[in-house]
Every structure is written in structure tokens, then in C-alpha cells.
Structure 1
Amino acid sequence: ERPVTDQLHQPDCRERPVTDGWIYFSSSLYYVSTEKKSWTESRNDCRKRGSDLVIINSREEQNFINVWRKDQWIWIGLSDGETEGVWKWVDGSELITGFWGARQPDDYGDEDCVLCGYESDPLKNWADYPCDQQLVWICEKRI
């Protein structure tokens, strides 16, 4: 009888929640920065890592992001820099479901980029913000 050693157990991503700073959740890997940069510089950093700024598609993902941002304001991959008032994700798709804070987005001054963490309610805490402000960010890599 053949031994079953040729069927060695291969651990999958879910068993290693964090690898090289990347966190696994629901078919994506996420990287939370430790430094602060502008929205564009943050996006460039994500791209260097083979990913892009996070696209939040669900309430579950929004809750997950809120845990990992650790009470900081963070950049997410949403902006209306192309057309004022038309919010688009970094993959070019239009925003369908948003988790905006009260009276947001308000375009106060020149605010074309979106941060998460503006208010305490985890499901209503996005705000538009000037893109040149320095914040931490989260990258997302679909796997």
C-alpha cells in the first residue's frame, strides 16, 4: 500500500492571517501602511506592491477595514478627481454603496479623495478630503 506522504498538507492563506504585513480576508489580501502619504503617493505605494488602494464592496469589508485602521483616518481607493460629484473606485467602477458620514460628501474646499474613519459609526464614517493631506492607507490585492 502506498504511503500518503505524497499528499503533504499544504496550508492555505486562511491559516496564515498575516504574511509579510498582508492580512487575509474574504478572497483578498490587505496591507495597512505604517507611514502617512498623500492619496496619490499612497496609491503609488500600493501599485509598487502589486495592488491598489482598497475598494470596499460590502458591509463586512467596511467592518474589517474599521478594525485594521486602528482609530486612524485612512485613505481608501475612491475619488471624484475625474468628474466632480462622480465617485469612482481606483478600478474605474462607479460607487454604488457608500458608507458616508453625516452631511458627507460635502466638497468643502477642494476635496476629491475619500478617507475612512471620519466619525465613530463604523458604517457611516467616510468623508471627502483634500487629496494632498498625509494619511495612512490600506492596499488590497485580490487573490
Structure 2
Amino acid sequence: MEPEAKWNGSTEQVEFSRMSPRSQGFTKLPGQKTCEKSVLLFTFVLLISVVLWGTLLFLFLTRFKKIAQDVEKLQESCVYHNDSGIVTIIRRLQVDQWDLKNDVPQLSKAVNKLQEDQTTLKSKASQISQQVDRLQEDGTTFRSQVLNEKNTATQALEKLQEEIEKLWTEFQRANGSVCKNCPKDWQLFQKKCYFFGNEPKTWPQAKFACINLQGRLVSIKNKEEQAFLTQKANKKGSWIGLRDLDMEGEFIWMDGSPLNYSNWSPGEPNNQGQGEDCVAMRANNGRWNDAFCRGQQEGWICEKLATC
């Protein structure tokens, strides 16, 4: 058995030795060495990566622990140092906040009630304001009516007194009495007495001045009377008793008689400026001119019946 084995071995050795160099080189390829180097390089890089990640993880854990410790110290510091100050104030504010939360429903109800009351008061105020406005309007209307009635009554009384005086004068003349008496500073012409005022006045002022003298602004009825008045009147202009206050263009004398005689200046009356409602005699020639009632004239003429 042994010689056969040796012979077989030698045979294999001979066969192995007879193999070509090409066959022997195939068992030792250069690629095998490259793969071994790549495996070693990969292993080395992997080890380095593990070391780096481990280092980073260690640093992160260390830093996290440090931050946790700092936060804990900060919390302890806040509690220990502010317990008697800020913490107490915070607790008190929390209590106040809780109380306010409890009071909110009541406050809300109170606010709603105030809003309702305000709305009611506004409504009542509006009603009262409307009532006051109506009362003021009624009062204004009433005062206007009273003034109009008073003026009407006054004018009626004046006319009645004048008619009584005329009748009395005519009665006395019929009995042979001479009716030529005029008060002091009044001038007689025909059956009337005339007063020539020389103080600057507006037409309403002149009207009341004549009333205070128990007369009225003159009513001119004919040329003879006009000539007398022109001669005696103030040479700068005088108010007479003619006006169209009630209706524009309808001139009426103070005694209520219509305009049957006139002595207008050329182009008059022109109602210049839409407000010339009273009449004055111009200076020197005595011609009439419609003028503003609130303007002033240097003179004014009153008249009344002469007494017997």
C-alpha cells in the first residue's frame, strides 16, 4: 500500500511539474491582491467613522448634561431668590385674576344694564327734545300771533281815536268853535298841526317818536299840503308816513288811506336792493324816494288834528 501511494504522489508531482507556466500564473491573479487592499481600506474607514461618531455622541451627551445642570441651577436660583418678591406678586396676581374671572359675568350684566339704560335715556331725551322743539315752535307761533293781534288792536285803537277826534272837531266846528290850537313847537296848516323833527332817525324810530308826541308820521293828501311841508321840512331829507311793508308796491299812508296823491322823484319808487319799503322827502324839492327803513334821515314829520 505504501509504495503505491508514493508512486501516486510522485505521479501527481510529475504531472504538477509538467503544467505550463500559464496554468501556474492563473492561481495567483493580480485582482486578488487589489480586493484584499480594498477590504482593508474599507475596514479602516469604517473604524475611523465609528470612532468619530462615538466621539461626537460623547460630546453631545456631555453638553446636554451640562445644559440640564445649568437649567436646574437657574430654576433653583429663581425659586430661592424670588420667593419673597416676584413669586409672591405672581401668586397675588393669579388670585386677582381668578377674582376678576369670577366677577366678569356680573360686570357683563352691569354693562348690559347700563347700555339698556343708556338706550332708554336716549329715547326719552329724543322725545323730550321733540317736545321742547314743538313747545318752542308753539311759543314762537303764539308770540307772533300775540304781536300781530296787538299791532292790529293798536292800529284799530289809533284809528278809532282819530275818528273820535275828527268827529269831535267837526262837532265843535258845527257849533261855531274855532279849531286852530296846536301844541308848542307844532305848526298849523289848514286843520292839522305839524311837528318837524330834526334828529337823525330810522323810519321805525321816527314812527315811535311821533306816537310819543301823540301824533303820527304825516300823510300828504294834496299839492298845497306838499308845498307847505317842502317849505318847512329839514333840507337834508325827512321821513313821511308812507310805506309798502305789507305788500311790495302797494304803498299805504299811516292813517290807512290809499295813495291818491303822489310826488315821486323821476324813476321812483324803484325798490333798489329789494328792501326800500319806506318813503322819505328829498332835500330842497320835497320829491319822494323809497329808501331802506333801517337807514337814517336827518328829519321826520309828525301830524295830528288841531284842537278847538
Scaled to the shorter chain, the TM-score interval is: 0.7 to 0.9
Is residue 2:193 matched to residue 1:29?
A: yes
More strand by share: 1
Matched, 1:127 2:292: no
Q: CA deviation at 1:90?
A: 0.7
CA contact (8 A) 1:42 1:53 kept: yes
Deviation of 1:72 (Å): 2.0
Q: Does residue 1:116 correspond to 2:278, yes or no?
A: no
What is the DSSP-based 3-state SS (H/G/I as helix, E as strand, rest coil) of the residue aligned with 2:276? Answer: coil
User: SS of the counterpart of 1:107?
Assistant: coil
In structure 2, C-alpha distance between the alignment counterparts of 1:98 and 1:12, rounded to whole Å:
28
Q: TM-score, normalised by structure 1?
A: 0.82
Mapped to 2, the partners of 1:37 and 1:71 lie a distance apart of 15
Report Cα offsets for 1:20-64 as digits up to 9, x if no partner.
210000100000012111101101010111110000001000001
Residue 142 of structure 1 is matched in structure 2 by 305
- Paired with 1:70 and 1:44, the residues of 2 have a C-alpha distance of 19
The range that moved more, 63-72 or 79-88, is 63-72
Per-residue displacement from partner, 1:61-91 (whole Å, max 9, x unpaired)? 0001101114221000000011000000011
Counterpart-to-counterpart distance in 1, 2:242 and 2:179: 30
In the alignment, is residue 48 of structure 1 matched against residue 215 of structure 2? no
Q: Which amino acid aligns with 2:290?
A: D
Trace 1:57-76 onto structure 2 (pairs within 5 A): 57-76=221-240
Stretches of structure 1 lacking an aligned partner (at least 5 in a row): 1-10
| Structure index of larger Rg | 2
1:85-96 alignment to 2 at 5 Å?
A: 85-96=249-260
- Quick one: percent identity of the two aligned structures? 33
Q: How does 1:13-24 map to 2 (within 5 A)?
A: 13=180, 19-24=183-188
Query: For this pair of structures, how many residues does the alignment match?
Result: 128
Which structure shows the bigger proportion of residues in helix conformation? 2
- Across the aligned residues of Structure 1 and Structure 2, the Cα RMSD in angstroms comes to 2.0
Normalising to structure 2: TM-score of the pair? 0.39
Paired position in structure 2 for 1:8: none
Listed one character per residue, the Cα deviations across residues 87-121 of structure 1 (whole Å, up to 9, x for unaligned) are 00011221111100000000001100001125x54
**8 Å Cα contact 1:66/1:117 also seen in 2:** no
Are 2:206 and 2:300, in contact at CA under 8 Å, matched by a contact in 1?
yes
Regions of 4+ moved over 6 Å: none
1:101 to 260, 265, 276: 265
Maintained 8 Å contact 1:21/1:31: yes
CA–CA distance in structure 1, aligned partners of residues 281 and 257 of structure 2: 19
SS in structure 1 at match of 2:279: strand
Using a 3 Å threshold, how does the CA distance of structure 1 residues 45 and 70 change in structure 2: closer, same or farther? Answer: closer
